Amino acid sequence: MPKLLPVFRIIALLEGVSYILLLFIATPIKYLYEDPQYVKLLGMPHGILFMAYVVIAVLISSDMKWPTRTLWIVLFASVIPFGTFYIDKKYLNKKRA
């Protein structure tokens, strides 16, 4: 098991939650109530988490023995709402002997 896997799982969870909050709470508030403060508040942390997710995914891909296609699926999932939760369940939460 790669050393960065527990860190990656936490980053994936936080990135997914921040993306959901940004898309479904902050953005509607911005456009419906003309109040951009929540987008400003959540935007920077989400961006940092997104970049960390991508970098760590690339770093652990060889240790996890992911084929290139799997790496692309993991990376693509970060731009789909709830995608990182799927990745955690399908690729990261496997019991290893």
Task: Write out the two tokens for 24.
Answer: 């479904």
Whole-angstrom distance, CA of residue 92 vs CA of residue 97 = 14
Does residue 95 register a pLDDT over 70? no
Contact by Cβ (8 Å): 61, 34: no
Domain boundaries defined on the chain: 12-92
- CA nearest 28: which of 36, 18, 40? 36
Residue 13's identity, in one-letter code, is L
pTM of the model: 0.90
Q: How confident is the model at residue 94 (pLDDT cuts 50, 70, 90)?
A: confident
Could you read off the pLDDT of 52-83 as tens digits, one per residue? Answer: 999 999 999 999 999 999 999 999 999 999 99
> What average pLDDT does the structure give for the chain?
93
